[in-house]
């Protein structure tokens, strides 16, 4: 699907050489979801209040954050 850009050799000052990786700009783009999402966990403990049983697991608004 996505291919990494080829690496370019860049000669540094002096006798040593450095390799610089050129990132693919397509990989840096975040794709927003239509709506923001939150995932919750509910522990059914009847001795506690409903809001105390509800725990936030994750929030995300981009496709990449969901799959990460």
pLDDT of residue 12: 53
Mean pLDDT per 10-residue interval, the chain, length 68 residues? 53 66 79 96 95 96 90
Q: Per the domain annotation, does 63 fall within a domain?
A: yes
Give the dihedral sign, CA 51/54/56/60.
negative
Helix (H) / strand (E) containing 11:
strand 8-11
Q: Which domain covers residue 15, as residue numbers?
A: 8-67
pLDDT at 42: 96
pTM of the model: 0.54
Which pLDDT belongs to residue 21?
A: 81
Check residue 5 and give its pLDDT.
53
Any domain includes 32: yes
Residue 1 included in any domain: no
| Residue 2 lies inside a defined structural domain of this protein | no
| C-beta atoms surrounding 35 within 10 Å | 6
- Residue 60 and residue 37 in contact, taking contact as beta carbons nearer than 8 Å: yes
Residues 14 and 36 sit within 8 Å (Cβ to Cβ): no
The rounded distance, in Å, linking the Cα atoms of 26 and 32 is 14
């Amino acid at each position: 699907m996505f291919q990494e850009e080829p690496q370019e050799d860049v000669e540094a000052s002096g006798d040593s050489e450095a390799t610089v990786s050129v990132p693919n700009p397509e990989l840096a783009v975040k794709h927003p979801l239509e709506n923001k999402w939150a995932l919750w966990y509910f522990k059914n403990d009847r001795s506690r209040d409903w809001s105390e049983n509800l725990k936030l697991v994750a929030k995300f608004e981009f496709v990449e954050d969901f799959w990460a």
